[in-house]
Structure 1
Amino acid sequence: MYIKKKYSKKDMAIWTRKETIFFVLMAAIVTVLYEVVGLRWLQLPWTPIALVGTAVAFLISFQNNAAYDRLWEARKIWGGIVNTSRTWTMMVRDMVNNAHTTDPKSQDYLAEERRILVYRQIAWMSALRYALRAEKPWETFKKAKTNKQWSEMLNLQELTVPLEEELSRLISPEEVEYVMSKKNKANALQTLQSQHIKALKDAGLIWEFAFLEMENVLKEFFNLQGKNERIKNFPYPRQYATLGYDFVNLFNMLLPFAIVPEFWKMGQELMETYPDFGGYFIWVAIPVSAVVSWIFNTMQRIGTAGENPFEGSANDVPITTMARGIEIDMREMLDEPKDKIPEPLPAVYNVQM
């Protein structure tokens, strides 16, 4: 429901267009120097290049596995937020009542108290996702021009709508002012939740045992928030990321010097059987070298793009879409009119945000 994403070959070609052009030009320059200019010494043995390629492949594999683990953990955490938010709404709806009070309140009063508790939980999700979308110094996704263009095309809500405006539709102006005055705004919202249910418990509108169960749910929200913050605030080790990037570039720079001579030799052998074709076979080295370099570079970029699963790339956990889906569920559980409940966020370029 939440993370269906679809890519086309055209999207991938556009994403890697700069590198593709560079790889083609690099291979073409080496081929021209070798074949046209006659610099036959311009070559490297294939064996050490193959060994470097093998080492680079292992390093990229490690990076991609680690990046996927971070992504999948983030997805599981937000799955927990989905389930726990529904549980919270169910408990608020059923446990805030007059059953244990000596001063019964009207149903309209109780409904408003329930609405405040549920809407404040939605506000907590908003504050959390805004914090997770905030840029960190070590996050490198948007430094690449094509990545930055892609992010701008997605037009993420967290980057275009101020948090204060988003909170204003969910909580009171006084609470907005209080939350915005705190550094950890999601934490401030859960503090308000605890104070609120304690006041309801003191008024007898929440049974004491129910109060303890609801406090446990708030505790779980804190746990889920902390797990998100752990991923956000602890980067993928930079030594692996930096070395992987440098090694891939080194391999791609050396690759044409090994491939071009090999294709020249193959062309010489083909000359005996296919003289018209064999003399031009060396030029096939250009697309072959470019394709191999493109594969290594693209795999490295995929791992880099997945290191931080909350940056807002097409490969990240779509926390904006998920938060909207949870909000819809929670407000439906309050039996709000359909025309008051927001619509699900549409996919942008087949990507959920």
Structure 2
Amino acid sequence: MYTKKVFKIKDLAKWTRHETFLFIAIITVVVVLYFFLELEWLKIPWTPLALIGTAVAFVIGFQNNSAYGRIWEARKIWGGITNTSRTFGMFVQDMVNNEYATESFSKEELQKEIKTLTYRHIAWITALRHAMRVSKPWETVVLEKTNKEWSKMVSPPEWKSTVEEDMKPYLCKEDLDYVMSKNNKQTAMLYLQSHHLKNLKEKGVVWEFSFLELEGILQELFTLQGQSERIKNFPYPRQFATLNHYFMWIFVLLLPLAIVPQFAEIGKEISASHSIIGSLFIWLSIPFYVIVAWIFHTMEKIGRTGENPFEGSANDVPISTMARGIEIDLRQNLGEALEDIPKQFPVIYDTQM
């Protein structure tokens, strides 16, 4: 999915509110220990903590760059699928004809062949988008509490229907049974397309040069499908994602033991001239700690949400909308009435699915 609206601070705060409350609780406990129990020995020096923070910042930056790269690559792949699909629809309509046919087909028969090829392509992209939405063991972002809340309001259409239901209007029973018997349904669909084109070439309905052009389009679709499957089936390396998550929490949990003593020392210096302000100055460490911890945690969380661009979160590539857009284009170019063509998936809370 893709959020069109600018991500506002209040939305970001709501998205991370559970962790923010946790940060407030952590720092409050440490401040209470210092203020009421006078545990001044409970501290660590800034130097090792600064080294840890620097390392965590570098790894978070690397993770975010890599996650953005995966999202951008996925967007380019599906942009290629969109363009290649339109090209395929155009080629099929122009290259399936009687010019070199050994036995002339009627206009209705030619149109039936064109429609079959076009509909099978729509079924292919339907199978592909469903395959991209299948949950993988490493796709855990949508299981987080705030993302679960979001999924109740906005979720991909593939979660509400089966691939068989969505492909059924576009395939004959024989093709549907064949495809459903295969593990990789989108690959089986392209095999059927190639076999169909070969039969039309043998009948002369598709010229040999046109056949090569159409096979080239199928080859490009195989390439794009494989690239999309590669992103789906190969996760962001766990040694980076998981360890970085732990490193971030180590830094966040150790930070109060350095920041609170620092504020306590400043408070003692202020007490010489302003006793009340100096004695209470330690409590200012709470908002400062929450800000620092929130920034580190939120940056790490943003990286995690971008690791799997087909998972079904609000930051995903809107493959459902793109696939439906291709379907609408192809069916309109077949001359079908607008009322017979499915509507585009709705934009909910300014989010495309």
- TM-score by length of structure 2 reads 0.96
Matched to 1:50, the amino acid is: A
Equivalent residue number for residue 113 of structure 2? 113
Describe the shift of the 1:6–1:324 C-alpha distance in structure 2 as closer, same or farther (beyond 3 A).
farther
| Structure 1 residues 3 and 206: alpha-carbon distance in aligned structure 2, compared to 1, 3 A threshold | farther
For 2:132, the aligned partner's letter is L
1:236 positional shift: 1.0
Please give the alpha-carbon distance, in whole angstroms, between the structure 2 residues aligned to 1:139 and 1:82. 26
Residue 92 (structure 2) pairs with residue 92 (structure 1) = yes
Cα deviation, 1:57-89, whole Å, max 9, x if unaligned, reads 001111111111111111111011011000000
Corresponding residue for residue 332 of structure 1: 332
1:186-225 aligned within 5 A: 186-225=186-225
* 1:313 partner letter: S
Q: Percent identity?
A: 55
1:45–1:258 CA contact under 8 A, matched in 2:
yes
In structure 1, what is the Cα distance between the partners aligned to 2:189 and 2:288? 56
Supply the distance in 1 between the matched residues of 2:270 and 2:344 (Cα, whole angstroms).
61
Runs of 4+ off more than 6 Å = none
The structure-2 alpha-carbon separation of the partners of 1:214 and 1:267, relative to structure 1 and needing over 3 Å to count, comes to same
* Aligned-partner Cα distance in 1 for 2:7–2:106: 53
Counterpart check, 1:82 vs 2:71: no
1:96 to partner: Cα distance:
0.9
Trace 1:40-51 onto structure 2 (pairs within 5 A): 40-51=40-51
2: CA distance between counterparts of 1:3 and 1:210? 41
The answer to whether 1:242 aligns with 2:242 is yes
Cα distance, 1:218 vs. partner? 0.2
Aligned residue number for residue 323 of structure 2: 323
Moved more, 58-67 or 167-176: 167-176
How far residue 159 of structure 1 moved from its aligned partner, in angstroms, is: 1.1
Deviation, 1:10, is 2.8
* Whole-Å separation in 1 of the counterparts to 2:193 and 2:10: 48
Give me the TM-score of the superposition, normalised by structure 1.
Answer: 0.96
Deviates more, 1:150-159 or 1:14-23: 150-159
How far off is 1:271 after superposition? 2.9
- The answer to whether the 8 A contact 1:6-1:350 is kept is no
Stretch moving more, 334-343 or 174-183: 334-343
SS in 1 for 2:135: coil
Question: AA paired with 1:257?
Answer: L
Amino acid in structure 1 at the alignment position of 2:112: E
Q: Counterpart of 1:233? A: 233
2: CA distance between counterparts of 1:38 and 1:85? 70
Cα contact 1:138–1:235 (8 A) shared by 2? yes
Task: Note the C-alpha offset of 1:151.
Answer: 2.6
Deviation at 1:3, TM superposition (A): 6.8
Q: Which amino acid aligns with 1:185?
A: K
**Equivalent position SS for 1:344:** coil
**Cα pair distance change 1:313/1:18, threshold 3 Å:** same
In the TM superposition, residue 136 of structure 1 has moved relative to its aligned partner by: 1.3
Distance 2:331 2:3 in 1: 22
Amino acid in the other structure paired with 1:241:
A
Q: Tell me, what secondary structure is at the counterpart of 1:308? A: coil
CA offsets per residue over residues 275-328 of structure 1, 9 Å max, x none? Answer: 443322211111111111111111111111111111011111111011111111
Partners in 1 of 2:3 and 2:114 — Cα distance? Answer: 30
Kindly state the Cα deviation for residue 189 of structure 1 after the two structures are TM-superposed: 0.5
Report what 1:348 is aligned to: 348
Instruction: Report which stretch shifted further, 146-155 or 109-118.
Output: 146-155
Give the partner amino acid of 2:299: M
For 1:139 and 1:162, the matched residues in 2 are separated by 20
Quote the residue 1:128 is aligned against: 128
Q: Could you tell me how far apart the structure 2 residues matched to 1:250 and 1:3 are?
A: 32
Partner of 1:149: 149
How many angstroms apart in 1 are the aligned matches of 2:198 and 2:49? 67
Gapped runs of 5+ residues in structure 1? none
Query: How many residues end up aligned between the 2 structures?
Result: 353
Query: Which amino acid in the other structure matches residue 151 of structure 2?
Result: S
1:47 to partner: Cα distance: 1.9
One-letter amino acid matched to 2:351? V
